[in-house]
């Protein structure tokens, strides 16, 4: 029996026992033998899923397509989408269309919970699929499916602008959809409505009449070595799943170092500084001059949002004496003076590869499923809504250049890195869940 057949038959056997249990009112109504059988079945199901289905994208696809023809499933198979091959996303979308426009409760009542979960995830991985169906989403004006408006261009522009003009209840929703549409006329409309040059949701700023992105178009996923992933998988908390396709990106990589051991002491608090990211090689499309090293004080960053560093010609950071409103470049703490043999700060990062981000992972706002959210360039994945930074020296809006998410690198949140190339200043911002 192949993995798919075994997995599906195990699921069927579990359903039969669960039906019996529920019909008779609780687990204790099953015989001891049946309870043991149910436990064993669940354990075996998990083994087949992680050992034979997850590693094989085509097997994952076969299971998912089979399940999408059924009703009344829980959201337990939600993560399967992250294991199926890119080319199959449209098929999953088609099989989930019955749930389009439904909210979570409506989908539950209709037995379309899994289909609803698929749409919820697909809006981030393939927003284009939704564009021909926006009328179904327009009528709902739901915050659950705003990702579907990403890159929608002129579609529903007139209606959305009208909504922003006239509706109190849906004004913010319409604004978000207009910003995410990417259509310059929509951006102009929102900017004049709000009397601003910076649209935080879209991540764009208007200068001399032109919109420019506050992030690099180029995007790279930070890929730890398979050995590091394996080690981490054995010690990781149960909620971490470090094996989906966002953690298995193929192709040529650019060498870099990230995270790793702590370094010398922070001049402000005497706590050890933490290495975040070292780029020794140029990263095409990202406005950073290698070599460059980003660090943070994990203690100061709790109250200093953001934490500011000035980088010397070698890319090495120093903390200015003051920061934020009292920024003063001099009188800081110069890392290049350190005895590197003693501290070895710069060589304790973990070796990683930067891999060009496949389009499906370009716009990641799905924080539920432990995807790889460690990235250089591309649009930021905001954990708590957008927070763009201003350079404390020149007062220009800074560019977003990287993010490190919990899991391998960091627990309980996301660290965002911003950069001002004219002042060579980095701003490190951390956000908690
Ligand atoms: Zn500190
Ligand atoms: Zn600046």
Does 257 score more than 80 pLDDT?
A: yes
Does 230 score more than 80 pLDDT?
A: no
The CA 317 to ligand 1 mean position distance, Å, reads 14
Question: Ligand nearest 264 Cα, by number?
Answer: 1
Phi then psi for residue 5, to 5 deg, are -60, -45
Give the CA distances from residue 411 to residues 43, 215, 371, 414, in Å, rounded to whole numbers and listed in that order.
Answer: 28, 24, 14, 8
> For the segment 371-393, what is each residue's pLDDT rounded down to a tens digit?
999 999 999 999 989 999 999 98
Does 424 score more than 60 pLDDT?
A: yes
The pLDDT of residue 29 is 80
> For the segment 349-376, what is each residue's pLDDT rounded down to a tens digit?
788 999 999 999 999 988 888 899 999 9
Cβ pair 175, 163 in contact under 8 A: no
The CA 267 to ligand 1 mean position distance, Å, reads 6
Question: Ligand nearest 423 Cα, by number?
Answer: 2
The pLDDT of residue 285 is 96
The pLDDT of residue 344 is 44
Nearest by Cα to 285 from 219, 335, 227: 219
Lowest mean pLDDT: which of 40-54, 152-166, 217-231?
A: 217-231
The pLDDT of residue 236 is 54
> For the segment 88-98, what is each residue's pLDDT rounded down to a tens digit?
999 999 999 99
Residue 332 — very low, low, confident or very high, per pLDDT cuts 50/70/90? low
The CA 392 to ligand 2 mean position distance, Å, reads 7
The pLDDT of residue 173 is 97
Does 207 score more than 70 pLDDT?
A: yes
The pLDDT of residue 298 is 86
The percent of residues above 70 in pLDDT, for the chain, comes to 89
Does 342 score more than 50 pLDDT?
A: no
CA pair distance 368, 192, nearest whole angstrom: 35
The CA 273 to ligand 1 mean position distance, Å, reads 7
Taking a 5 Å cut-off on Cβ, the residues next to ion ligand 2 are: 391, 393-394, 420, 423
Cβ pair 320, 331 in contact under 8 A: yes
Nearest by Cα to 248 from 376, 402, 88, 83: 83
Question: Please, which residues have CB within 8 angstroms of residue 230's CB and are 6 or more apart in sequence?
Answer: none
Give the CA distances from residue 210 to residues 65, 152, 378, in Å, rounded to whole numbers and listed in that order.
Answer: 45, 20, 20
Residue 326 — very low, low, confident or very high, per pLDDT cuts 50/70/90? low
CA pair distance 149, 183, nearest whole angstrom: 11
Task: Name the average pLDDT for the chain.
Answer: 89
Question: Ligand nearest 273 Cα, by number?
Answer: 1
The CA 263 to ligand 1 mean position distance, Å, reads 12
User: What are the structure tokens assigned to 422, written together?
Assistant: 């004219």
Residue 343 — very low, low, confident or very high, per pLDDT cuts 50/70/90? very low
Nearest by Cα to 293 from 325, 260, 323: 260
The CA 340 to ligand 1 mean position distance, Å, reads 20
The pLDDT of residue 147 is 95
Does 325 score more than 70 pLDDT?
A: no
């Amino acid at each position: 029996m192949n993995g798919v057949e075994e997995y599906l038959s195990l699921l069927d056997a579990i359903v039969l026992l669960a039906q019996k249990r529920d019909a008779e009112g609780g687990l204790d109504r099953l015989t001891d033998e049946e309870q043991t059988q149910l436990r064993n079945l669940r354990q075996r199901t998990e083994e087949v899923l992680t050992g034979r289905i997850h590693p094989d994208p085509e097997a994952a696809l076969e299971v998912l397509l089979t399940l999408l023809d059924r009703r009344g499933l829980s959201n337990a198979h939600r993560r399967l989408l992250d294991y199926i091959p890119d080319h199959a996303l449209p098929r999953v979308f088609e099989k989930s269309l019955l749930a389009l426009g439904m909210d979570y409760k409506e989908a539950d009542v209709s037995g379309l919970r899994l289909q609803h979960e698929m749409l919820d995830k697909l809006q981030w991985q393939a927003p284009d699929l939704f564009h021909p169906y926006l009328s179904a989403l327009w009528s709902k004006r739901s915050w659950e499916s705003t990702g579907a408006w990403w890159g929608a261009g002129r579609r529903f522009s007139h209606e959305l602008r009208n909504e922003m003009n006239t509706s109190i209840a849906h004004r913010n929703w319409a604004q978000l959809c207009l910003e995410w549409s990417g259509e310059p006329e929509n951006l102009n409309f929102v900017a004049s409505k709000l009397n601003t040059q910076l649209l935080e949701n879209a991540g764009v700023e208007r200068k001399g009449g032109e919109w420019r992105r506050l992030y690099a178009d180029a995007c790279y996923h930070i890929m730890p070595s398979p050995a590091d992933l394996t080690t981490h998988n054995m010690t990781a908390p149960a909620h971490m799943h470090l094996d989906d396709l966002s953690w298995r990106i193929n192709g040529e990589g650019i060498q870099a170092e990230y995270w790793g051991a702590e370094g010398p002491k922070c001049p402000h608090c005497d706590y050890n500084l933490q290495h975040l990211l070292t780029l020794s090689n140029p990263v095409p499309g990202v406005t950073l001059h290698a070599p460059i090293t980003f660090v943070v004080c994990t203690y100061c960053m709790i109250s200093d949002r953001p934490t500011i560093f000035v980088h010397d010609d070698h890319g090495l950071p120093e903390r200015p004496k003051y920061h934020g409103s009292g920024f003063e470049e001099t009188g800081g703490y110069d890392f290049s003076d350190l005895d590197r043999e003693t501290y070895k700060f710069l060589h304790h990062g973990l070796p990683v590869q930067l891999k060009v981000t496949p389009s499906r992972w370009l716009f990641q706002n799905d924080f539920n499923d432990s995807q790889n959210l460690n990235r250089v360039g591309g649009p930021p994945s905001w954990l708590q809504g957008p927070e763009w930074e201003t350079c404390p020296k020149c007062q220009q809006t800074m560019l977003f250049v990287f993010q490190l998410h919990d899991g391998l690198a960091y627990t309980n949140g996301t660290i965002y890195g911003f950069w001002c190339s004219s002042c060579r200043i980095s701003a490190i911002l951390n956000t908690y869940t």
